[in-house]
Structure 1
C-alpha cells in the first residue's frame, strides 16, 4: 500500500467531505495520483464515497492511533513501554522478532494500522480493517529460561481482559489458553513467540489482536466473534484501549517475571469463561471428546475431567475448547 493512500485517509478521517483538489494540493500530488491512491481504500476495508462537486468522504470516521495520546493515557506506565506506530507492516510480531535479534530492549512495542500478513494461532490469518482493529506486539525480556515461561499466554490474556473491563467491556473474560471472549464470542486473540536459553535469559514477543469496530467483517471470522464497539457503551477510543492494554501488560509481565503464573492463577480462574463448565475438547490429530473444566495449574495447564479421569491439557498441545453441544 502506498504512503499516499494512508496520508489521504488521515485527512479524510473525520468523516466529512474534503475537496480532492485541495487534498492533492496539500499533499503535493496531482489529482490523478490522489485518485489512484484512494482506489486502494477498499483493500483496507474502508468504504469511500466520491461525489462530484463535493469531493471524498469516508462512510465512517476513523480514529488513527497516536503515540502522544497513548502515552498520556498510560500515565506512569508509559515509562515502561517504548511505542512505535506504523501505517503498514507485514506482521508486527515478525518485525519485532527481528528487532529483538538486534538487541531491542524490553518494553519495545510496535502497533500497526494495517497488517498485510497478520497471523493468529495455528497460522490463521487475522481478520481486520483500517481503524477496525487493534494490532500490536510487545517485546519483553526475562531472566528466566524459556522453560519457565509456561502460563505466559494466560497471564497476557488476564492483562487484556482487565484492560477491556476498564474500557467498559464489562463481560470480557479469558478463554484458555490464549483468547479473550464476551459471552463465549471472541473479541481478541494472543500469539506469543519465545526464544532464548533453557536456563535463561529468554525473550518473548507478545502479539495481541483485538476486534475494535469490525461491523460486517465479523462474519468473515471462522468462529463466533464480537467487537469492542458492540460490547461497550459509550464506545471507548482506540487510543484508550491500547493505552489501558499496554499499561496492564507492563504490570502483569513484571509480576510474571517475579513469580510466574502462580500469583495470577486465582484471578485468572475467576475470569475464565469455561470455569466449571462442560466443554468439547478438540485436540489436533485426535478424536474430540466432552469433559468438565476442573482447574488450571500453576504452569498454565488446563485440568479437565473426562470419563472419570483427570486430564491435563497444555497450550503446546494446541487443544481447543468449545461449549459442549456447539
Structure 2
C-alpha cells in the first residue's frame, strides 16, 4: 500500500475472498485477528471498488466471480529472458494515484522500471481525461526509462508501443486488433486500450520517458457508465479470457524489448507494421488540435510517426500532442 492509496480493505482479506467461495465472518475475523465488527466495516468498502459481495445466511460471504490479484512472482516467472534481462525493477502495487505519476516521482535509475497497480485513484488518459480503473479488473501498467539523447530519440514511440501491444494481443489469440493514431488500441472499432506517453528532461540531453498503458480485461458496470465512446473488454472477446498475470507478462515480453532498443531502432522499425494496423487508413477524418479542426483523408504516418493528412492544401504533416482524431460525419 502506498501513501497515495485509497482506503481499501486489508490485502489479507481480499486474498481470502479472491477464491470466490463462501467465508464466514468468524473465519475472516480469525484470519485477520480482528473482531467481526471490524470485518463488517472492511466488507462495506468493497462496493465502492465495484466489487459485488454476496451474503448468504448460514454460509457467510463470497466475492461474486472471485478475483485474480496480480503477483510479481508469477509475472516474472512467465516473462521471456529477452524481457526480464532488460527489466531493472518491477513493482506491483495495491493502490496508487496513477502508475504514470508513481514512476515519474521515482529517482532516475538505470534500465527499465515497470509498475502495475490493482487500483488507481486518479488514473489518467490523454488530454487530462480520467481513466476508469475498477479494482483488480484490468491492466494498469507504466514503464520508465531514461536516455542521454534528448526528446528526438522518443519520436513515434506511442505508435511503436501500440504495435507491441497488438503483437501481445495476437499472441493471446485476439485478432482484429487495430491502432488509432496516435495512442488507441481498438478491437472491431471499439476501444480496448489506450497509451499515455509522458516525457520530462532536456530536449537535447537527459530525458525521462514514462509509457502508460490501460487495457480492458473485464466488462464492469462502472466503466460502462463513465466511458463516452464505444469500448470493449477481453472477457467479451474471448470465451475463456487469459489470466491477468499471463496478460501482464505477455505485455512486458513485447514492450520491454522495444523500449530497450528504441533509441537505436526508432519508429522506422515499426512503421510498416503500424500502417498495416491503421484503423483509419484512407478514411475521411476530422483532426482536432485545441479549438482548430482540419478535415482530410488519413494517409498514414511518416518515418517519425507524424500524421499524414491529405487536405485541400495538399499532403500536410501533423505531429503528436493534444490531438484528437475522429471519423468525419
TM-score range for the pair, normalised by the shorter chain length? over 0.9
Checking the alignment, whether the CA contact within 8 Å between 2:8 and 2:45 is kept in structure 1 is no
Change (3 A) 1:205 1:164: same
Three-state SS of the structure 2 residue aligned to 1:136 is strand
Structure 1 residue 91 displacement after superposition = 1.1
Which residue of 80, 85, 96 corresponds with 2:92? Answer: 85
Match for residue 273 of structure 1?
279
- Aligned equivalent of 2:227: 221
Matching residue of 2:74 = 69
Number of aligned residues: 321
Partner of 2:319: 314
Give the structure 2 partner of residue 244 of structure 1.
250
Deviations 1:39-81 (A, max 9, x none): 1111111111122321111121211101111111112122222
1:52 lines up with 2:57 in the alignment: yes
**1:237, CA displacement in angstroms?**
1.0
Query: How much does 1:2 deviate?
Result: 4.0
SS at match of 1:164: helix
The runs of 5 or more residues in structure 2 that have no matched partner are 1-5
Gaps of 5+ in 1: none
- Other structure's SS at 2:252 match: helix
2:260 & 2:97 partners in 1: Cα distance?
Answer: 29
Q: CA deviation at 1:268?
A: 0.9
1:255 aligns with 2:261: yes
The answer for the alignment partner of 1:193 in structure 2 is: 198
C-alpha contact (below 8 Å) 1:5/1:41 kept by paired residues: no
Equivalence for 2:3: none
Equivalent residue runs for 1:171-186 within 5 Å? 171-186=176-191
SS at match of 1:315: coil
Q: How does 1:71-220 map to 2 (within 5 A)?
A: 71-76=76-81, 77-81=83-87, 82-99=89-106, 102-219=107-224, 220=226
CA distance in 2, matches of 1:15, 1:124: 33
Indicate whether 1:282 and 2:296 are aligned: no
Distance (whole Å) between structure 1 residues aligned to residue 238 and residue 261 of structure 2: 28
Partner deviation per Cα, 1:162-196 (whole Å, 9 max, x = no partner): 11121122111211101111112111111111122
Q: 2: distance between equivalents of 1:144 and 1:232? A: 42
